[in-house]
Structure 1
């Protein structure tokens, strides 16, 4: 059982914290191309969050985790590794056990805008447009 399910089971309420967590789960599904819960997997691998949360901030492990479709050119959109790292970092912070305490949904939206801009214009243009601090936060504290 993941944190969101546990929170809902204990309180019977969905909160801003559970919304941020659920959004992070959706980001992980997009990143990996896998379902949040897959009962066809072994007992330790059924929950996507529990399975991948510890590798999201490790670039080498992240490369093995991402959906192969993200590495392909689709029309005019090609996903850059910089934007994938930023996307994974955002997902990681959303599904962190204390995610709702300091990560408002408005910040998630702003970071998604930054990720899209970085993907299309490059890292240097994104740092100029959005500012160095936003870029550091989105890339997990280091400039990729």
Structure 2
């Protein structure tokens, strides 16, 4: 299958060898290893991935999935999206590898592909794990899990942690609804070097991707738009420190204004639920909108350079 797929965020298949019952695939060399190596197997003398690089990797990996889902014909469901299958080229350019479990997606009136449940525990979407019904939204769930890995630096399943923290998704989900706890989700190796507003938007995207209901998850194209914007915003901890404080004050005023109209305990509880959904969906919508504007500016700039070349020519 990989021989028919070509995209900057998919590894290139160089060739293969077949000798008797032995089979060997030869891929391009990826000098920086896998994303898993940099998140969970990094030697103490190596610097951890910074926030900008993490967003760049997430955006590139999402573009690889977008190609499989929306550009390939018929669509391809990757089925084994995980950090060990994201390889890194020079400059931390990500490429998806290992298409041994990939399946052609549904065509025509089909809504899903029924198949034996395969993949890696912790990354599989719940509906696929329970029914064997596979859709492109199953990949979106797996992407959300890997995105959480990038943000938190935690393993998806870690039996060495305390009870209640061993499953990454189960540990993270309750904190999505409490803005005061969101900073606890960030990899401590970043030592606070991340944009708070960018964190809100990144966690909003991750939260939408790991929804229990497949229909509630976003399309991968929307994820790409949001993450392309986040990846384009180069984080400078010194330049943005004051701006972060201003953003936080605006967010706090918004929450206070909304909560100020609540009159009783039951209404306060309902408003709290509405605020949580509002915050998450607003963050996703803002990231998508800014991402679309950013891409439009990029196209305009490229067109301007093209026109300049024609005039000079």
For residues 1-144 of structure 1, what are the structure 2 equivalents within 5 Å?
4=124, 6-71=126-191, 79-120=194-235, 137=281, 139=283
CA distance in 1: counterparts of 2:130 and 2:286, whole angstroms: 37
Cα root mean square deviation, aligned: 3.2
CA distance in 2: counterparts of 1:3 and 1:22, whole angstroms: 5
1:63-122 Cα offsets, whole Å, 9 max, x none, are: 12211233465xxxxx31111111011001111112544510011010101212345598
Higher Cα Rg, which structure? 2
CA distance in 2: counterparts of 1:84 and 1:5, whole angstroms: 24
* Cα offset, 1:59, TM superposition: 2.6
SS of residue matched to 1:89:
helix
CA distance in 2: counterparts of 1:80 and 1:44, whole angstroms: 28
Give every structure 1 segment of 4 or more consecutive aligned residues whose post-TM-superposition deviation is greater than 6 Å: none
* Cα offset, 1:42, TM superposition: 3.9
TM-score, normalising length: structure 2:
0.35
Structure with higher RCO (Cα < 8 A, 6+ apart): 1
Q: Number of matched residues?
A: 126
- Gapped regions of structure 1 (runs ≥ 5): 74-78, 124-135
SS of residue matched to 2:155:
coil
- Gapped regions of structure 2 (runs ≥ 5): 1-120, 244-279, 288-313
CA distance in 1: counterparts of 2:123 and 2:150, whole angstroms: 20
TM-score, normalising length: structure 1:
0.69
* Higher share of residues assigned strand: 2
Contact 2:122 2:156 in 1 (8 A): no
Q: 1:101 to 1:85 in 2, by over 3 A?
A: closer
Contact 1:83 1:116 in 2 (8 A): no
